[in-house]
């Protein structure tokens, strides 16, 4: 049976201008970092993508190494683009990145022009696309001159393989330099993708000010701190959680008694706001107008639907903000 997207898909989503560009992004975007790889069930992530688009999520975020195995998230996304989204490409913002290890040898990692150009060619092939909308350098490279990495992004945009350039994981000083180089080259930086949540706030130490000053958008990843900012850890570490398995980015050592106490106190505030902890954590990021969109993951359609309810209440009273700060300190 052919899937047809909802005709009301743009009705309830909030769209925000990305920095000083012409692009607007949905306040909630879908990241394909986990749950869309070769080890996952296509029928499940197909339903997640359908629901996302039906709810007005137009931005799908990928990277060369997303899977597992690396590359498989882009391959699977390409299959579904061809099958289900063929007539809707121009309604979508699709991004990819390069900067982490992707293949053996000296040209499969970091930030050389050779690596970035080759990686995007491979990504386009996997997804069956002529271009991506946004191409990011995924992390700063301490050895390659910043001028070379940024000139690679500039070249890629001029070649028509990406419409916009972005950076990810860059601290404030490096971001400022990268943005200045791109501006000089004539390919302004559209967006920065940092790790940012109630529990991870390094971006507030200058990066947000740089982005605001330069008119660059911001799209935080891991806004729920790998699941810590959900109901999952209210009563300790569940057996089926990421922390229990210690196979991913969340380790048992991070789920301390102090952290669980914070989670419970934050949850009490969320309940008073008629929100789940996850919904409040997303809303808390979106309260800042400099945040263009929050990048969420989902392992089930129900999880995505639940997260989207954050948009029902993104206003905070000064009292609530004060209480939250008190807990986080």
Question: For residue 321, how many other CB atoms are within 10 A of its CB?
Answer: 13
Q: Which domain holds residue 144?
A: 19-226+288-312
CB 285 within 8 A of CB 276: no
- Token pair 């869309």 in the structure block, residue: 36
Domain count, the chain: 1
Dist. CA 160–CA 137, nearest whole Å: 17
Asked whether residue 43 is domain-assigned, the answer is yes
Query: What CA–CA distances, in Å, run from 195 to 202, 204, 307?
Result: 8, 11, 18
CB 68 within 8 A of CB 37: yes
- pTM for the full model? 0.95
Which parts of the chain fold into alpha helices (H)? Answer: 42-54, 72-84, 113-127, 146-158, 172-185, 207-214, 242-245, 257-272, 277-286, 301-308, 318-328
Asked whether residue 279 is domain-assigned, the answer is no
Asked whether residue 31 is domain-assigned, the answer is yes
Q: What is the pLDDT of residue 255?
A: 81
Asked whether residue 266 is domain-assigned, the answer is no
Q: What is the pLDDT of residue 232?
A: 87
Question: Which are the contacts of 210, defined by CB distance < 8 A and separation ≥ 6?
Answer: 172, 175, 176, 179, 216
Query: What CA–CA distances, in Å, run from 126 to 77, 81, 186, 244, 281?
Result: 9, 11, 29, 33, 34
Asked whether residue 308 is domain-assigned, the answer is yes
Asked whether residue 160 is domain-assigned, the answer is yes
CB 36 within 8 A of CB 77: yes
Digit-by-digit pLDDT tens for the chain (329 residues) are 789 999 999 999 999 999 999 999 999 999 999 999 999 999 999 999 999 999 999 999 999 999 999 999 999 999 999 999 999 999 999 999 999 999 999 999 999 999 999 999 999 999 999 999 999 999 999 999 999 999 999 999 999 999 999 999 999 999 999 999 999 999 999 999 999 999 999 999 999 999 999 999 999 999 999 999 999 888 877 666 665 555 566 666 678 889 999 999 999 999 999 999 999 999 999 999 999 999 999 999 999 999 999 999 999 999 999 999 999 99
Asked whether residue 306 is domain-assigned, the answer is yes
CA angle, corner 89, sides to 83 and 94, nearest 5?
A: 100
CATH of the domain at 173: 3.20.20.100
Asked whether residue 329 is domain-assigned, the answer is no
- Token pair 């989503």 in the structure block, residue: 13
**Coil vs helix vs strand at 311:** helix
Q: What is the pLDDT of residue 59?
A: 98
Q: What is the pLDDT of residue 250?
A: 63
CA neighbor of 56 nearest in space, from 89, 94, 29: 29
Q: What is the pLDDT of residue 256?
A: 86
């Amino acid at each position: 049976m052919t899937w047809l997207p909802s005709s009301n898909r743009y009705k309830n989503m909030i769209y925000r201008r990305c920095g000083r560009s012409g692009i607007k992004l949905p306040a909630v975007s879908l990241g394909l970092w986990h749950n869309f790889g070769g080890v996952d069930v296509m029928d499940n992530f197909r339903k997640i993508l359908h629901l996302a688009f039906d709810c007005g999520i137009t931005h799908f975020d990928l990277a060369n190494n997303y899977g597992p195995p690396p590359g498989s998230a882009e391959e699977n996304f390409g299959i579904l683009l061809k099958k289900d989204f063929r007539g809707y490409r121009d309604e979508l913002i699709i991004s990819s990145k390069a900067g982490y290890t992707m293949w053996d040898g000296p040209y499969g990692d970091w930030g050389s022009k050779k690596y970035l150009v080759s990686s995007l060619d491979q990504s386009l092939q996997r997804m069956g696309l002529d271009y991506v909308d946004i191409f990011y350098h995924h992390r700063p490279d301490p050895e390659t001159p910043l001028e070379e990495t940024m000139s690679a992004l500039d070249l890629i945009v001029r070649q028509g393989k990406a419409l916009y350039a972005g950076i990810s994981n860059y601290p404030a000083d490096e971001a400022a330099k990268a943005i200045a180089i791109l501006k000089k080259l004539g390919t302004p930086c559209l967006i920065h993708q940092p790790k940012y949540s109630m529990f991870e706030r390094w971006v507030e130490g200058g990066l947000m000010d740089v982005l605001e000053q330069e008119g660059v958008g911001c799209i935080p990843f891991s806004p729920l701190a790998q699941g810590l900012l959900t109901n999952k850890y209210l009563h300790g570490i569940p057996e089926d959680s990421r922390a229990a398995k210690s196979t991913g980015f969340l380790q048992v050592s991070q789920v301390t008694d102090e952290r669980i106490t914070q989670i419970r106190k934050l949850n009490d505030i969320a309940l008073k706001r008629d929100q789940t902890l996850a919904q409040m954590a997303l809303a808390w990021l979106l309260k800042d107008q400099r945040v263009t969109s929050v990048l969420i993951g989902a392992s089930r359609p129900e999880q995505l639907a639940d997260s989207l309810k954050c948009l029902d209440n993104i206003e905070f009273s000064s009292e609530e903000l004060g209480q939250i700060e008190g807990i986080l300190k």
